[in-house]
Amino acid sequence: MKLKIKDMNIATGGPIIVILNQDDAKVLDFHVGDRIGIQHNNKKTVAILNFAESEKAVPRGRIGCYEVVLDKLHAKNNSLVTISLEEKPKSISYIKKKLNNEKLSYNELYTIVDDIVKNRLSDIEMTYFVSACHLNAMQTEETINLTKAMINTGEVLKFKKGPIMDKHCVGGVAGNRTTMVIVPILAAAGVTMPKSSSRSITSPSGTADTMEVLAGVSFSVKEVRKIVNKVGACIVWGGAINLAPADDRIIRVEHPLSIDSNGQLLASILAKKASVSAGHVLVDIPLGKGAKIEHRKKALFLKNQFEVVGRSAGMNIKVIITDGTQPIGNGYGPLLEARDVLWVLRNDLKGPSDLRKKSVVMAGLLLEMAGKAKKGQGEKKALEILESGKAYKKMQEMIKAQGGKEILPENLKLAKYSFGVYSNESGKIIHIDNETISKIARDAGAPLDKAAGVYLYHHKNDKIMKGEILYTIYSNSTERLEFARGATKETKGIEAKH
């Protein structure tokens, strides 16, 4: 059957779709979701069928195409194409298999991931895959195979010099910017650390957002390779380099219900580590009330999964369970966090001691894994590097390589407006709620307003007096500041005991 193209003037990053008038589709006995082959001269591509209800959208005799299809076919508006009904991807039957609680093989998982990466599955079909993995929990062998499939459907970055180290934090703790202290320490010790980090999703800042206060973070794979080969490390945004690309597409259908299935999460994380050729990975699981993982049993299960799956993918994995009961550092929001990090790296007394301590412990473990320190000596060595100023110097090299320039923490420009939040009671602080502090910082405009956020003056077990300042909220917008101030009226996020 021959049809004339209608250019829909739309570019989407998602599944590849074409649109037929529903009356044409009915005559052809085509259904929504069928795969349609479209041929134009000697070019052919396959797309997922959708219907238009009205003649206005797509008239009979025409086929609505998005930019990606036009490009593939070297076609334009009014080009004549031949269409045909094609088989649905095999991956659909594998997804159904998983829905019926059968185990998937490596080849089946590879086929699914490959089709996801190549935009061959519709949102509905991907959602069934995510549901199936969420509900019929993946067995360890499947998680291992999914990890390998994710690695093998993406690019793998190679570097000149080993060992190549990486770290990962499960998240949920505000201000937990250890990466920005650890990476310069490790790189100063001669270890390669090509760190890709995420932007914030629900927190006031992700490591990529915080690093962006000091330098660029969006680089191509080629640029990352150049930076790392030059200075030994980087801290860049993972979204720009697009390694293990299935992940972003899966997240898109997970977002509406905030689903994350253990197996899938684990596979995504480890595939990203493998795709930068990391040989050694340290994983931080913060545990406690208000953190992402609130129960020890779940933390231990996750620890074991990381170890088993990571090792199967050829990595040396160490997992630590850390205190996640309160925020780390004093600032929450990109700029306030970057200031804390620089103070720690400069050995300034204003640097938060909890951030310094945790970073040094973790850097020590990584130095031991890399063979740069004897067992039990890593922490001491990490502290030496930090105190010597070498880590600060390495950070400045990284900033320069990533297109930034040296700036002293004191010179970071705070937000125009601020508001102090004071205690209503005297007593000992027994809980600081990560979620509440994060929400207030976001209400103030973080992470989009880089300088917005919360600066906390106390930590757990501190004694406070009634009327004493708890924290300052910063924002460049008076409206946002007012919004955040309103939120503190419901709860300040800090609990004290008389």
Question: Where in the sequence numbering do the catalytic residues fall?
Answer: 260
In whole angstroms, how close is the CB of 469 to a second copy at the nearest point? 28
Residues sharing a CB contact under 8 Å with residue 204, sequence separation 6 or more, in sequence order = 174, 332, 333, 334, 438, 441, 442, 446, 447, 452, 453, 454
Residue 332 found at the interface with a second copy (CB under 8 A) = no
The site string for a second copy over 448-477 (x = CB under 8 A, - otherwise) reads x-----------------------------
The site string for a second copy over 73-92 (x = CB under 8 A, - otherwise) reads -------------------x
Q: Which residues between 42 and 71 bind a second copy (CB under 8 A)? A: 52-54, 56-57, 67
Closer to a second copy by CB, 225 or 249: give it.
249
Closer to a second copy by CB, 41 or 202: give it.
202
Residue 95 found at the interface with a second copy (CB under 8 A) = yes
Q: Site for a second copy (CB under 8 A): how many residues?
A: 41
How far is Cα 283 from Cα 249, in angstroms, rounded to an integer?
A: 24
Contact call for residues 479 and 455 (beta carbons, < 8 A): no
* Kind plus residue range of the DSSP H or E element containing 8: none
Closer to a second copy by CB, 68 or 344: give it.
68
Single out the segment in contact with a second copy by CB under 8 A; choices: 126-134, 230-238, 326-334, 372-380.
Answer: 126-134
Other beta carbons within 10 Å of 475 = 27
**Ramachandran sector of residue 493 (left: φ over 0; alpha: ψ -120 to 50; beta: rest):** left
Residue 13 found at the interface with a second copy (CB under 8 A) = yes
How far is Cα 161 from Cα 266, in angstroms, rounded to an integer?
A: 27
Residue 135 found at the interface with a second copy (CB under 8 A) = yes
Binding-site member from 2, 4, 31, 416 for a second copy (CB under 8 A): 31
Residue 156 found at the interface with a second copy (CB under 8 A) = no
The closest alpha carbon to 333, from 470, 438, 416, 487, belongs to 438
* Alpha helices, H only, 285-371: 296-312, 334-345, 353-369
- At 483, give phi and psi (nearest 5°): -60, -45
Structure tokens at 87: 């088989």
Binding-site member from 257, 408, 430, 465 for a second copy (CB under 8 A): 257
Q: Which residues pair with 38 in a beta bridge?
A: 45, 83
Closer to a second copy by CB, 256 or 376: give it.
256
Q: Which residues pair with 464 in a beta bridge?
A: 427
Binding-site member from 47, 63, 132, 283 for a second copy (CB under 8 A): 132
Binding-site member from 117, 150, 241, 253 for a second copy (CB under 8 A): 253
Closer to a second copy by CB, 150 or 253: give it.
253
* Kind plus residue range of the DSSP H or E element containing 22: helix 22-28
Residue 365 found at the interface with a second copy (CB under 8 A) = no
What interhelical angle do 91-99 and 123-135 show, nearest 10?
30
- The beta strands (E) that lie in 72-192 are given as 80-86, 165-169
Strands of the sheet containing 427-432, edge to edge, are 463-464, 427-432, 494-497
Structure tokens at 419: 């508001």
In whole angstroms, how close is the CB of 119 to a second copy at the nearest point? 13
Structure tokens at 299: 């933390």
Binding-site member from 44, 86, 99, 485 for a second copy (CB under 8 A): 99
Single out the segment in contact with a second copy by CB under 8 A; choices: 93-101, 104-112, 208-216, 459-467.
Answer: 93-101
Q: How many CA atoms lie within 13 A of 112 on its CB side?
A: 29
Single out the segment in contact with a second copy by CB under 8 A; choices: 127-135, 155-163, 173-181, 278-286.
Answer: 127-135
Single out the segment in contact with a second copy by CB under 8 A; choices: 121-129, 284-292, 339-347, 404-412.
Answer: 121-129
Residue 376 found at the interface with a second copy (CB under 8 A) = no
Amino acid found at 250: I
Residues that bind a second copy (CB under 8 A): 9-13, 26-27, 29, 31-33, 52-54, 56-57, 67, 92, 95-96, 99, 101, 122-125, 127-128, 131-132, 134-136, 252-253, 255-259, 448
